[in-house]
Chain A
Amino acid sequence: MAQDFEPPEVASSPANPAATNPIAPEQPAPTELEGQRTHPLTGLIQGLIWGAIAASALGTQQLSGDNNFLFSLAIVVTGFFAGVFLGLTSWLFTRYSINDEEVRIDRGLVFRSSRRIPYERLQSVDINEPLIARLVGLSELTIEMAGGSQSQNVIRFLTLDDARRLRRLLLSKAHGTALDEQVEGSRMPESKELITVVPPDRILYGALLSLDFAFAVLSAVVAVVAGLYFVSSRFFSDGGGPWGVFLAVVPFAWGIIQMINSRILAQWNFSLSRHRNGLRIERGLLSRSSQTIPYDRVQGIAVIEPVIWRRLGWSKLDVDVAGYGESATTEGGVSSNTLLPISDRMLAEYVLNLLIPDADRARYEELRPPRRSRVFAPIGWKYRSIRTTDTTISSKTGWIRTSTDVIPLHKVQSVQMTQGPLQRRLGLASAQVHTPDGPVNTQILHLDQFEARRLVFDQVERAKRARLAAAGRAFGPDVDHPGHFAGIEPVVGQSDPLG
């Protein structure tokens, strides 16, 4: 399948898009939509999916039963058509509207639901192309709100062009910027700058060289060997022997398949671009996904270095965006927390500086747990530390899997200090800095108790100052001068920074 990236358009600047736009739009594109239906094929696709599910469920149920063959067939076919009918009607009664304050999605005939998303609560808009929809050129739009597990709102399915147009419209409304009339309505791509494309071999090596993949494969091998042993020694004459081996292997095989899917297939051709509103991530082999991470919604970044990768200088970046929650949706779905699945140190620093700029990163104060905390973590205590600057706080932990969690201070929610009975005996306490739920977890465990207290009060003070400073300036880094990391030039065009 061809890569269907939006070609990076570096030369055009937002100030003068007309210079690069040879196509004049026939009419100004609508900025308000009322009661729109999604693409008609939606009903058919949804119907087919539900019909297939119903048919297979009923089919397996009938297989175990004793009924007349024709009767079973009738039930399965009825189930299939019921699924198709439900899919079609659900499409028929789903409408979306976009006006000046909110997006509204109305569903249902009997049980009606109307989901409203005011623009202030709109975090980001992602485009996902599940395999089936992709085959017919359709995609779905996912709108992320701040907070809660119910915050995923999906508009299914639209043509890719429609989806992109809608995304531009929604993002411009969310950010309060006027939509560029010349850009809208034309097939001209939005201006953005490619930062990197993760090459496929890097993704493959990274997945193969990770500990949990090795563990999964090892478990599968052990299961097969054990199964064969039992088959040969005990069930030699039993016809059900091979089934036992098969059944033992199935859960492990499934786990490996899931892992391959989320680590390799979903991250294929992972490309990261700098965009006006945020970072744009496009990835996926079978199902493509296009995700925007707005600059001002980044709550924290975790840099993860598993032990094998550390030798090679590789790391993985996870980002905490309010509303995305703890873990990625399954099948490597749209709203993944992965910022960069695998990258070398220079690129990781660059992206980190882009999203969490810190002018005085080199001038930090560091705190480490004292020796007496080894009661709690005999090996790990040496590897824990917390570093604070005026604008960020970052904690480092782990000796097998080192994780560095960085938070900008103006995003801190609350600060906490805890002390259990054993800690009290040893004069230790733990400190934690809270951010919205996500993979980033900035904390230092078992620090000397008075140092912990000083740290907590210090952070309360610094967070207050950072909040006031942030309120007085526009959010997000200056796109033309990202970060303050000396010596790193922004990567432009197709050159590969991974060398």
Chain B
Amino acid sequence: MDDLFTSPTGKWTPVSPALATARKLIGLVVSAVIALLGAAVTAVLASITQGWWWVGVVIIALAVGFATWMWWWAPRNQRSWGYAETDQDLLVRGGLMFRRFVAIPYGRMQFVDVESGPIARKFGFASVSLNTASTSTAATIPGVPLDEAARLRDKLTELGESHGAGL
């Protein structure tokens, strides 16, 4: 990413490339299903009416377009995510089109959630969410490798308690 989102500590810890792989896979599956649906629609419409069969083709085209876009977007989005730990705050940056950078003081963290669905677990990553007293903080880091996620959670909880700044 460009200069604007450079880390003050010099480097960003990246998230797992498996995030991109998982997203590409999901994209493929979803678009395959939609393409099949489109094919079915084409067949049905072609047998019933004369001129409307192209609707099914449009659906297939949309599915292919979706898969292509996901193939392009997933790795770039994955590379855009990063976090850095300074002595007082956790810095998180992410996003491809709508980029975001958040700095969260350790003492302000209320709780840290580590979540992973079945696909995420298979690929070995989880998403770490940090909550403060403000719901607009919304800092969720997707695609963190599982052991790193556990380490982050423990470290952040411990730092949160020791820096606890009250409300």
Seen from chain A, the residues whose Cβ lies within 8 Å of a Cβ on chain B are 146-147, 297, 322, 410-421, 424, 429, 432, 434-437, 449-450, 453, 456-457, 460, 463-464, 467, 471
- B102's nearest neighbour on chain A, judged by CB, is A416
Q: Are B103 and A460 in contact (CB under 8 A)?
A: yes
Please report the C-alpha to C-alpha distance between residue A415 and residue B139 in the assembled complex, in whole angstroms: 11
Say whether B48 faces chain A, with CB atoms less than 8 Å apart: no
Cβ of A460 to closest chain B Cβ, rounded Å: 5
B139 and A414 form a contact (CB under 8 A): yes
Q: Which residues of A contact B110 (CB under 8 A)?
A: 147
How many chain B residues touch the partner (CB < 8 A)?
Answer: 25
Bound-state Cα–Cα, A125 to B134, Å: 22
In order of increasing CB-CB distance, the 6 nearest A-B pairs are A434-B134, A413-B134, A436-B133, A413-B132, A414-B104, A417-B101
- The reply to whether A432 and B136 contact each other, CB–CB distance below 8 Å, is yes
With a 10 A CB-CB cut-off, give which of A412, A413, A415, A419 has the most chain B CB atoms.
A413
Cα–Cα distance between A456 and B4 once the two chains are bound (Å): 11
Residues 104-138 of B at the A interface (beta carbon under 8 Å): 104-105, 107-108, 110, 132-137
State which of A413, A456, A464 has its C-beta within 8 Å of the C-beta of B137.
Answer: A413
Chain A's closest residue to B165 (CB) is A467
User: A302 to chain B: closest CB distance in Å?
Assistant: 15
Q: Which of B98, B132, B135 contacts A418 (CB 8 A)?
A: B98
Assess the B101–A416 pair: CB atoms within 8 A.
Answer: yes
Taking the closest CB of chain A, its distance from the CB of B129, in whole angstroms, is 13
Whether B4 lies near A418 (C-beta < 8 A) is no
Are the C-beta atoms of A471 and B134 separated by less than 8 Å?
no
B88 close to chain A: CB less than 8 A: yes
Determine which of B98, B99, B108 lies in contact with A414 in the assembled complex, contact meaning CB atoms within 8 Å. B108
Q: A413-B133, A413-B137 are in contact. Are A322 and B167 (CB under 8 A)?
A: yes
Which residues from chain B contact A419 at a C-beta distance below 8 Å?
Answer: 4, 98-100
Enumerate B76-92 residues with CB–CB distance to A below 8 Å: 88-89
* Residues from chain A with Cβ under 8 Å of B165 in the complex: 410, 467, 471
Please measure, in the bound complex, the distance between the C-alpha atom of A156 and the C-alpha atom of B135, giving whole angstroms: 31
Q: A322-B167, A456-B103, A467-B107 are in contact. Are A420 and B98 (CB under 8 A)?
A: yes
When chains A and B are docked, how far (Å) is the Cα of A478 from the Cα of B83? 41
Whether A420 touches B97, Cβ cut-off 8 Å, given contacts A146-B133, A146-B167, A432-B136, is yes
Are A415 and B103 also in contact (CB < 8 A) when A421-B97, A429-B4, A464-B88 are?
Answer: yes
Contacts of A415 in B (CB 8 A): 102-103
B6 nearest in chain A by CB position:
A453
Kindly provide the distance from the CB of B16 to the nearest chain A CB, expressed in whole angstroms: 24
Taking a contact as CB atoms under 8 Å apart, the answer to whether B100 and A434 are in contact is no
Cβ contacts under 8 Å, A410 to chain B: 165
Jot down 17 A-B pairs with beta carbons below 8 A, ordered by A. Answer: A322-B167, A413-B132, A414-B102, A414-B108, A414-B134, A416-B102, A417-B100, A417-B101, A419-B99, A419-B100, A420-B98, A421-B97, A429-B4, A436-B167, A449-B4, A460-B105, A464-B88
Given that A460-B89, A464-B105, A467-B105 are known contacts, is A418 also in contact with B136, CB under 8 Å in the complex? no
- By the criterion CB–CB under 8 Å, are A147 and B133 in contact? yes
**Which residues on A sit within 8 Å (CB–CB) of B105?**
412-414, 460, 463-464, 467
- Inter-chain pairs besides A414-B102, A435-B133, 13 sampled, C-beta below 8 Å: A147-B110, A322-B167, A413-B137, A415-B103, A416-B136, A417-B102, A419-B4, A419-B99, A432-B136, A434-B136, A450-B4, A463-B105, A471-B165
Instruction: Confirm or deny: B8 has a beta carbon within 8 angstroms of a beta carbon on chain A.
Output: yes
User: What residues on B are CB-neighbors of A434 within 8 Å?
Assistant: 132, 134, 136-137
Chain A positions within 8 Å of B132 at CB level: 413-414, 434
Nearest chain A residue, comparing its CB with the CB of B100: A418
Contact check, B4 vs A453: say whether CB atoms are below 8 A apart.
yes
Q: Which residues of B contact A424 (CB under 8 A)?
A: 99
Which of B88, B89, B134, B167 lies in contact with A437, CB distance below 8 A?
B134
Q: Please report the C-alpha to C-alpha distance between residue A434 and residue B103 in the assembled complex, in whole angstroms.
A: 10
Nearest opposing residue in chain B for A411, CB measure: B167
A410-B101 Cα distance, complex, nearest whole Å: 20
Chain B min CB distance to A221 (Å): 39
Residue among A416, A450, A471 with most chain B CB within 10 A: A416
* Chain B residues within an 8 Å CB radius of A437: 134-136
Interface residues of B in 47-83 (CB under 8 A from A): none
Residue of B nearest to A449 (CB): B4
Within 8 A of A (CB), among B133-167: 133-137, 139, 165, 167
What is the CA–CA distance of A415 and B104 in the complex, to the nearest angstrom? Answer: 7
Q: Which residue of B lies closest to A146 (CB)?
A: B167
- Tell me the minimal C-beta distance from A453 to chain B in angstroms: 6
In Å, the complex CA distance between A418 and B107 comes to: 23
**Does the CB pair A418–B108 fall under 8 Å?**
no
* Smallest CB separation, B93 vs chain A (Å): 9
- CB contacts (< 8 Å) of A471 on chain B: these are 165
Tell me which residues across on chain A come within 8 A of B100, comparing CB atoms.
416-419
Q: List the B side residues contacting A417 at CB < 8 Å.
A: 4, 100-102
Neighbouring A residues of B137 by C-beta, 8 Å: 413-414, 416, 434
How long is the Cα–Cα vector from A225 to B89 in the complex, in angstroms? 60
Q: How far is the CB of A414 from chain B (nearest CB, A)?
A: 4
Known: A322-B167, A434-B134. A457 touches B8 (CB 8 A): yes
Q: Which residues of B contact A456 (CB under 8 A)?
A: 101, 103
- For residue A413, which residues in chain B have a CB less than 8 angstroms away from its CB? 104-105, 108, 132-134, 137
Determine the chain A residues whose CB is within 8 A of the CB of B104 once the complex forms: 413-414
CA distance in complex: A110, B108 (Å): 39
Interfacial chain A residues near B88, Cβ < 8 Å: 460, 464
Bound Cα distance from A419 to B89, whole angstroms: 21
Q: Which of A436, A453, A457 contacts B134 (CB 8 A)?
A: A436
Q: Give CA–CA (A415, B86) in the complex, Å.
A: 14
Instruction: Decide: A414 near B4, CB < 8 A? Known: A421-B98, A436-B134.
Output: no
**Residue of B89, B101, B110, B137 with most chain A CB atoms under a 10 A cut-off:** B101
